[in-house]
Amino acid sequence: MQHAKPLPSYLVQRFHGWRATTFSENKAWYKRLAEEGQRPRAMIISCCDSRVHVTAIFGADQGEFFIHRNIANLVPPYEPDGQQHGTSAAIEYAVTALKVAHIVIVGHSSCGGVRGCHDMCSGHAPELEEKSSFVGRWMDLLRPGYERVKDIADEDERVRALEKQAILISMENLMTFPFVKDAVEANKLSLHGLWNDIGDGELEQYLPGEGVFQTI
């Protein structure tokens, strides 16, 4: 590989700072993680957005969460077709190998991926309709959600509703995985949907009995 370069100096400095403080003060914990392996209680599926910092939101340390991130925190439906499926592989490992007790979908406000889906479905992003668009084809997963909210008159409200649809569709798709369904029905696994307002710092959770998101 001829195109790799050394790490930028600011990241090197941050690493040395971390190793001299956080790591140095918690050597026994890191040694235990290395020797005994990970035992996370929860899997977090969140957006790639750099503003979404799930470990900070929950005050989590290393070893607590098994984290998978992708554009718009989406889960595809179960599709055992012999192809490469990164999100599905992460879910399979979390449930069957790590045996996590919770899967938490974390969506957020001002999501660029969701906005892209909205624009694509409303005819304002033809570039995402191209077959060659990885983002567009990934956001096809959210098209059913757009159909559910497209009649909301106010655009900002419509996009926010679509952000929450991304969470709901992901939870619906999780239940198409046989090993997820079995674990949920055996009360060994629970699914949770959260929406984070990154500007106000608020967190809403989905209440299935009422069919609404409510501030925690």
Q: What is the mean pLDDT of residues 183-196?
A: 98
- Confidence class for position 209, pLDDT limits 50, 70, 90: very high
Q: How far apart are CA 128 and CA 136, in angstroms?
A: 4
76 phi/psi in degrees, rounded to 5: -80, 165
Rounded to two decimals, the pTM is 0.96
Q: Which tens digit of pLDDT belongs to each residue from 151-181? A: 999 999 999 999 999 999 999 999 999 999 9
pLDDT at site 135: 98
pLDDT at site 136: 98
Question: What domains appear along the chain, each with residue ranges and CATH number?
Answer: 1-36 (no CATH), 38-215 (3.40.1050.10)
Of 173, 202, 195, which Cα lies nearest the Cα of 111? 195
- Confidence class for position 22, pLDDT limits 50, 70, 90: very high
- Confidence class for position 55, pLDDT limits 50, 70, 90: very high
pLDDT at site 28: 96
pLDDT at site 95: 98
pLDDT at site 30: 96
pLDDT at site 86: 98
Whether the CB-CB separation of 45 and 104 falls below 8 Å is answered with yes
Q: What is the mean pLDDT of residues 88-97?
A: 98
Q: How far apart are CA 71 and CA 62, in angstroms?
A: 23
Whether the CB-CB separation of 38 and 98 falls below 8 Å is answered with yes
Of 192, 189, 139, which Cα lies nearest the Cα of 166? 139
Q: What is the mean pLDDT of residues 112-119?
A: 98
Strands 202-207 and 190-197: antiparallel
Provide the mean pLDDT of the chain. Answer: 97
